[in-house]
Chains A and B, each alone.
Chain A
Amino acid sequence: MSQIYKREMVFIVTGVVALVMMLDYFFGKNIPGISGAGNISSTLQTWALIIQLMAIGLGAINLIQVHYRQISRKTNMAVYSAWFMGFFALLLLLGFYKLATGVELYPYTWIFKNVYVSLGTTLYAITGFYIFSAAYRAFRARNIDAAILLIGGIFVLLANAPIGEVIWGGFPLIGNWFNNVGQVPGMRTFTVVGALGLLAFGFRALIGKERGFYSEVQ
């Protein structure tokens, strides 16, 4: 019974919110009480933001549960989980201190700038190597399609690499043509069919027919 109640509630809330947002978008200020500061549309958007922030709190609890389990079961990951818990507690305390006093302590900024940002940037830079190995796989000329892709790829590569223009002046012209003209129709087709798929998906979700994420078994 509670499952049915929960499902119906999701449908009703989704439907009402979607209707309000559509009315706001299409009719704007012409319907009193729909849009503008303090009206129903902006209130719903504020609620969405609050729910989103609450979910971050929920996410923190999930992280603690996951890592506590690793530590209590003494798995081979327990040492990393303990490391995580230590840093989590430290940053939480520093954050609360900032909230209470308005003073941002040096370790708080230092950890963010020198640990978090550095590691994030390093990881992003590593992507270059992954793209290289993925490109190697994609550009193997196993059939005629892959061979055409390889030829196109070589032109685009040499158009972007300074040495391409030194070898032959035509590389930037042809490479840029692939970039600016050749690939555009294909990508736009993807965008159009993607939008149509989204429209159908949205409609199914709106009328409660798209049930996979409503915790219903498919």
Chain B
Amino acid sequence: MGVWIILDTKFVALLLLIAAFALFYGYMTLAKGGMKIKARAFPAVAAISEAIGRAAEMGKPVYYSTGMGQGTLNNQLNGPQTLAGISILGYTTRLCAKSGVKITYFTPIADSLPLVEETMRTSYMAEGKPEEFNPAVAINFQNEQSPFLTASLGWIQREKPAASILLGGFYYESVVLGEAGNTIGAMQIGGTANTHQLPFLVATCDYTLIMEELYAASAEISGNPDVLGSLRGEDILKFFVLILLGLGFILALVNNNSLISLLKV
């Protein structure tokens, strides 16, 4: 056995990963078995239905984007954020289909397009309005940031959407889209796990999903108790990380770097 297991810090990382997955799975099973999970409601998620209602009353469309995300789903930092954004897009599209509100999705990520089209088509079908789905509502810009941004700005200025929803892996377009939405008075909901863009979304949007909230939002939307169980597991993991941080702090005070060496990958 010892021959093929690398006995280095990667092995510690693997053990921690397995422990984390076991924790998530354990709480998901407990929640499925009837354990009550109280999940904090995200104001930003609740605001989505409010924004769609506003759009329906005003007779205006909704702008939706998952951001630049390095131009591909095949990116370890931004790919999951784009997927999280697409998960929430499904819910938003369903609300739009229900209220008769037009939604247009802009993306520079060409490889996300099949997922987006399927997600939006399914949402229209779920509301019994498959004929209202038009593939042209998902517009892509071939991995290019500037054309995506220019077209978005033009569309926002022309159509004056009642709501602008920016959820995903954003780069400098966050502040541009956020300010463009503010200029026309759109209700804005933003969210990203890119720390460098978070301040811009907080400054420009009415509601923001910060870091892990972006990933947790779809769990809250689904309302499945077993999915919510993973959020409880995540909270327990946070306490574990806090303990590790405290321990590392104390050890660093006595010039002991053993914990840092053990966890460094």
Q: Contact: B110 with A212, CB < 8 Å?
A: no
Interface segment, A60-68, A100-108, A157-165, A171-179?
A: A60-68
Rounded to whole angstroms, the CA-CA distance of A209 and B221 in the bound complex is: 13
Residues of A within 8 A of B238 (CB): 193, 196
Q: Contact: A203 with B119, CB < 8 Å?
A: no
Per the 8 Å Cβ criterion, residues 57-82 of B in contact with A are: 72-74, 80
Residues of A within 8 A of B233 (CB): 200
Residues of B within 8 A of A192 (CB): 241
User: A167 at the A/B interface (Cβ < 8 Å)?
Assistant: no
Q: Contact: B218 with A209, CB < 8 Å?
A: no
User: A30 at the A/B interface (Cβ < 8 Å)?
Assistant: yes
Rounded to whole angstroms, the CA-CA distance of A27 and B110 in the bound complex is: 33
Question: How many positions in chain B have a CB within 8 Å of any CB in the partner chain?
Answer: 88
Rounded to whole angstroms, the CA-CA distance of A197 and B25 in the bound complex is: 15
Q: Contact: A216 with B122, CB < 8 Å?
A: yes
Q: Contact: B24 with A212, CB < 8 Å?
A: no
Q: Contact: B211 with A59, CB < 8 Å?
A: no
Digit string of B13-52 for contact with A (CB within 8 Å is 1, else 0)? Answer: 1100100110011001000000000000000000000000
Residues of B within 8 A of A62 (CB): 113, 135, 138-140
User: A13 at the A/B interface (Cβ < 8 Å)?
Assistant: no
Q: Which of A51, A123, A202 contacts B149 (CB 8 A)?
A: A123
With A124-B146, A131-B175 as given contacts, are A202 and B80 in contact (CB-CB < 8 Å)?
A: yes
Please give the distance in Å from A18's CB to the nearest CB on chain B. Answer: 11
Please give the distance in Å from A44's CB to the nearest CB on chain B. Answer: 11
Residues of A within 8 A of B185 (CB): none
Residues of B within 8 A of A194 (CB): 193, 195, 211-212
Residues of A within 8 A of B90 (CB): 212-213, 215-218
Please give the distance in Å from A74's CB to the nearest CB on chain B. Answer: 15
Rounded to whole angstroms, the CA-CA distance of A161 and B198 in the bound complex is: 23
Residues of A within 8 A of B210 (CB): 190
Q: Contact: A212 with B3, CB < 8 Å?
A: no
Among residues of A, the one whose C-beta sits closest to the C-beta of B176 is A130
Residues of A within 8 A of B145 (CB): 120
* Given pairs A26-B14, A213-B90, 14 additional interface contacts (CB within 8 A): A27-B5, A56-B143, A59-B142, A119-B146, A134-B179, A138-B203, A194-B195, A197-B214, A200-B24, A202-B80, A203-B25, A209-B224, A212-B221, A218-B221
Q: Give me the 6 closest cross-chain CB pairs, A-B, nearest first.
A: A212-B87, A197-B212, A59-B110, A55-B111, A138-B203, A201-B215
